[in-house]
Structure 1
Amino acid sequence: MSETATIWLIIVSLGIGSFGLRYIFLGVIGDRQMPEWILRHLRYTAVAVLPGLVAPLVIWPAATGGQPDPARMSAAAVTLVVGYLTKNVLAAIFAGAGTLFLMLYLLA
């Protein structure tokens, strides 16, 4: 019983914390003009977050028990190259996904 209460306490606490963080930016300073240096830094948020989410899945994939494999490494390399050359996020994602599926098919 206490384990269920602990889980719900964690869920509610994280919900309140998440709401508080969003409210600070949207409710408190949402109607004010932000300085240019803040806007410049905010443009890089997605660029910084996406590799942080993807890198562990490439280097330590759960599908292989944490061992790096050529299929995921080659898909990551193709994604980086296509993204760099085309500057198109969707082209990079589709090229990487296609490479991953092709390599998994060929190596299986």
Structure 2
Amino acid sequence: MNSDLALWGVFLAVGVGTFALRLCFIEIHGRWRIPSLLSRSLRYVPASVLAALVLPAVVYPAGHGEFVLNNPQMPAAIIAAGVAWFTRSTLLTLGVGMAALWAFKYLVASV
């Protein structure tokens, strides 16, 4: 019984803390002026978070802790990055990247 009460207390504290953190940014947003340098640098946060999420899955497939040379995801990712760099088209990048991945997986499986 005591551990259940402590667990609910932790849930309540985390919920109140999360609400307070989000509320303070909403309340401060109208009152403070964000410096232009910080505002420009915050534009790169989504891309860097996406890269931090995708890169380990590409470099270490299936959660392996070592670098694998016959990994078909790496050349496909390099080709997709090149397409993204030159065309700036999300749909074309996804299409070419998936086609390259399937082609490299077929080549690795057939060898």
Fold conserved (TM > 0.5)?
A: yes
Identity in percent? 31
| Structure 1 residue ranges without an equivalent (≥5) | none
Report the Cα distance in structure 1 between the residues aligned to 2:15 and 2:96, rounded to whole angstroms: 36
1:25 aligns with 2:36: no
Per-residue deviation at 1:39? 1.1
Worse overlay, 15-24 or 28-37: 15-24
Q: Which amino acid aligns with 1:92?
A: T
Per-residue deviation at 1:6? 9.2
Contact (CA 8 Å) 2:59, 2:67: kept in 1 or not? yes
Deviations 1:45-84 (A, max 9, x none): 1221111111100111117785533310111111111111
TM norm structure 1: 0.68
Report the Cα distance in structure 2 between the residues aligned to 1:11 and 1:65, rounded to whole angstroms: 34
| SS in structure 2 at match of 1:70 | coil
TM norm structure 2: 0.66
Contact (CA 8 Å) 2:84, 2:93: kept in 1 or not? yes
Report the Cα distance in structure 2 between the residues aligned to 1:48 and 1:101, rounded to whole angstroms: 26
Contact (CA 8 Å) 2:79, 2:100: kept in 1 or not? yes
Report the Cα distance in structure 2 between the residues aligned to 1:55 and 1:72, rounded to whole angstroms: 10
Per-residue deviation at 1:96? 1.5
Quote the residue 1:71 is aligned against: 72
Deviations 1:9-56 (A, max 9, x none): 877766555544433322332564422112101111122111111110
Alignment of 1:3-22 (within 5 A): 18-22=18-22
Q: Which has the larger radius of gyration?
A: 2
Number of corresponding residues: 108
